[in-house]
Amino acid sequence: MTLRRLSFAALLGLPLAFAAAGAAASDYRSLAEPAILYDAPSKQGKPLFVIQRYTPVETVVNIDRWVKVREPAGSLLWLERRQLSDKRTVIITAARADIRQKPDAAAPLAFEASKDVVLELSDKPADGWVKVKHRDGTGGFIRVNQVWGL
């Protein structure tokens, strides 16, 4: 292979490498307080809607006091950085989710939760399960494909 063809092949691979690096660098946070989401990084931007406290968001871009986030429905919007918390939460995406006492589909049920219920993340996902805790203190394991925010 000539040097020119090798360079061209390397350039073709760069977007894939950057995409893979970006995918691995997802940063999820939750909201420390209810927040207004804007269409631009400024209070002069158009306020679109309010998102509730503890809702998980994925941070995409940081600019000074503003952060562009992906909210659970998938929209990319702006909010003030001060409204973010380091506390990790997930939101249930399934119509109804079973939270088990152990990370096993045959394990006894700890509790059930409906779509859009926010749960605190207690541990990192492992083997398709993640440990969570409800605000009432009840904990258990939920399948990762039933939540958003990981």
Residue 19 has pLDDT above 60, yes or no: no
pLDDT score of 91 more than 70: yes
Reduce the DSSP state of residue 110 to 3 states and report it: strand
- Please answer whether residues 89 and 35 qualify as being in contact, where contact means their C-beta atoms are separated by less than 8 angstroms: no
The structure's pTM equals 0.79
Residues 20-31: what's their mean pLDDT?
67
CATH class for the region spanning 89-148: mainly beta
Which residue, chain included where needed, has tokens 């631009």?
40
Give the span between the Cα atoms of 116 and 55, in whole angstroms. 9
Show the tokens assigned to 105: 């589909």
pLDDT in tens, 51-63: 999 999 999 999 9
The domain segmentation of the chain, as residue ranges, is 26-85, 89-148
Give me the pLDDT at residue 8, please. 44
Distance between CA 8 and CA 79 in Å, rounded? 40
CATH, domain 26-85, list 3.40.366.10, 2.30.30.40, 1.10.287.3510, 3.30.1490.20: 2.30.30.40
Confidence of residue 24 (pLDDT cuts 50, 70, 90): very low
